[in-house]
Structure 1
């Protein structure tokens, strides 16, 4: 019985659980803190996903480093 319910309504169960979790988080922590927390979770997910898929970094660090070294060369 539970397996049939999970297969047919699994998304609804997950949605309700997520709604309850974020609702409690909102009540305990506050709205803006929850947004910051959610943003950090999304950033962490994206970084982990890119690492799992062996994709390059979202920010081209070598190009940024080269650009900065050329731009601030006059300080040397």
Structure 2
């Protein structure tokens, strides 16, 4: 498998795990946190990257949320 093909297929997951590792190392340098927190960062990065790869849409549906808020709290009723 070519590297470009791997990147196009799993690019979001690779980027997500990389961001998780970098953030985890930063927390280790600044202060030692439990290994569980580091694993949580990796899992969050992987999950967001996987969602990007599968093109499921955003994690938080901002459009639906903003429409709901505008209907719920209209400034002038």
**TM-score of Structure 1 vs Structure 2, range by shorter chain:** 0.3 to 0.5
Greater helix share, structure number = 1
Greater length-normalized contact order (CA 8 Å, ≥ 6 residues apart): 2
Alignment TM-score, normalising by the size of structure 1 = 0.46
Alignment TM-score, normalising by the size of structure 2 = 0.45
